[in-house]
Amino acid sequence: MRAILERMGLGEIPYLLDFIDISWRIALVLILAYSLWSACKRLILLLHPRAAARGASSDEMKRIETMTQVFRYVAGVAIVIVTGMLVLGELGISIAPLLATAGIAGIAVGFGVQSLVKDYFTGFVLLLENQIRKGDAIEVAGKSGLVEEVTLRYVRLRDYEGVVHFIPNGMITTVSNHSMEFAHAVVSINIAHGNDVDNAIAAIRKAEAALRSDPLYASRMLGEIEIAGVEQLSDSGTLLRARVMVSPSEQANVRRELLKRVKAAFVEDGIDLPSAQMTLVGGRAGDRPLRVEVSK
């Protein structure tokens, strides 16, 4: 390049050859960095169709989506750092003193970034062990919601009310994941003491059979209902408990619809739910005050 510029008669202008030489080298570095980033993005875009073609399950697709997002973040940071170092080298700025200064500064602020290092280390372990994936319904650090983003530093959750929670990975000690492999839709139903328990259980099974025959819910249910039986006896009534194995993250939807159908089945079969009754106890006017007794 320098020889070509000299033959063009540009070598007589002070510093012009050096400026042009450095400029095209920097431009070449930036072009290569952009090409590498484009190749990474194209590789990420090809990953999802290939996984779908292999018949990957929903859990595998969640993990692939989470890992590709983290890979995109790590690749972007690495390309920016390497590109910056190469550009500084072309400008004649020595990288060695910068690295030495960074090392000294790292020791000085090391105690202040311990939590940040913990966040990244914990995030790496969470991803390696496949504990949290994008789209999972989880409970973590006292918050619950749907995972919208997983990075090496934090997990972003959106709860039922739409509030977004950013939870640093270093604060995560226990993860309760409701979207792993399968879940159970658990229902607890309280009936009045005057009802026959076997009739109530039969009504629950009838409601579950009707729900299973519904095409909208049949694919979400992975097993037949399990009736635990009488869970508790109390003044308010007899508590029955049952559960149905369902697809991940579908337990709330199936539970609500099952309770709706159980209520309809109870009405149809004449099974009563506990209800409060008020009794007024007292004498004639002028005697003692009336007393109100409430029973269930």
Q: What mean pLDDT comes out for the span 224-252? A: 90
- Please give the Cα distance from 264 to 207 (Å, whole number): 8
Characterise 181 by phi-psi region: left (phi > 0), alpha (psi -120 to 50), beta (else): left
Rounded distance, CA 16 to CA 4, Å? 13
Q: Which residues contact 208 (CB under 8 A, 6 or more apart)?
A: 224, 225, 242, 244, 258, 261
CA distance readout (Å), 237 to 31, 178, 258, 276, 294: 74, 31, 20, 11, 14
Q: 82 versus 241: which is more confidently predicted? A: 241
Q: Considering the chain, what is the average pLDDT of its residues?
A: 79
**In 160-171, which positions are buried (b, 16+ CB within 10 angstroms) versus exposed (e)?**
eeeeebebbbbb
Q: Is the pLDDT of residue 104 over 60?
A: no
**Model pLDDT, residue 284:** 54
Residue 254 is predicted with a pLDDT of 94
State residue 287's pLDDT score.
55
Q: Which two tokens stand for residue 223?
A: 């097993």
pLDDT the model gives residue 178? 86
Which domains does the chain possess? 2-93 (no CATH), 123-177 (2.30.30.60), 183-269 (3.30.70.100)
First CA to last CA distance, the chain? 95
CA distance 247 to 183: 6
Helices (H), the chain: 2-7, 16-53, 58-90, 95-109, 114-128, 197-212, 215-218, 251-269
Q: What is the pLDDT of residues 143-202, one digit of tens each?
A: 999 999 888 888 999 998 999 999 999 899 899 998 888 889 999 999 998 899 999 999
**pLDDT tens-digit readout, 71-93:** 777 778 788 888 888 887 777 77
- The structure tokens listed for 173 are 């000690």
Q: Any idea which of 191-195, 220-224, 269-273, 281-285 has the lowest mean pLDDT?
A: 281-285
Each residue's pLDDT tens digit, 26-65: 888 888 888 888 888 787 777 666 665 665 566 666 667 7
CB 206 within 8 A of CB 213: no
φ/ψ (deg, to 5) at 178:
-90, 10
The predicted model gives 98-102 an average pLDDT of 60
